[in-house]
Chains A and B, each alone.
Chain A
Amino acid sequence: NAGVMQNPRHLVRRRGQEARLRCSPMKGHSHVYWYRQLPEEGLKFMVYLQKENIIDESGMPKERFSAEFPKEGPSILRIQQVVRGDSAAYFCASSPGEGYEQYFGPGTRLTVT
């Protein structure tokens, strides 16, 4: 049973470009969460999605960040007009339901130059 998959594993973008991060949940999981870990900081929640619905985006920055989980295909976290402060590890997690264990993917390390 494949785990949570994320790609790319490493992404380098210049300031002002767009970053698109992809996450495929574990088989049988329909709940997806995105977290960000800034250098030398803890893990912070960004957004919680189910298929075709954003359930909770209280942790998302108000501008430039968006997320989706379409009926078909992976969940996507999009960052427009990236700035150096966006450099971080972005982790996706999935669970089979609310309140259950969340399993993390390997993460995408975003570097903004």
Chain B
Amino acid sequence: KNQVEQSPQSLIILEGKNCTLQCNYTVSPFSNLRWYKQDTGRGPVSLTIMTFSENTKSNGRYTATLDADTKQSSLHITASQLSDSASYICVVSLTGGGNKLTFGTGTQLKVEL
């Protein structure tokens, strides 16, 4: 069964600190991997999207990495801000099934003063 697992489930960090969120997937054949940010009460918003040939992609203070061999991805947040408090969802797309996405259950991040 195609699955996407994320860790940790939740995380609390102090403002200004860095953090790394993990995503392991068993989706095959793999097409691309996305990280979404979902603020409370809002819909998910795309942060990065990577194909199997890409190892890293950055979007401001967000940097995603991908190891297609081990089927692992990480999202690194640098110099966290209060506005980074949100749920971060890892999403994997099947080859040829671009419209069908497999979602992880997300990591709930809280940034505190």
Task: Note whether A and B form a binding pair.
Answer: no
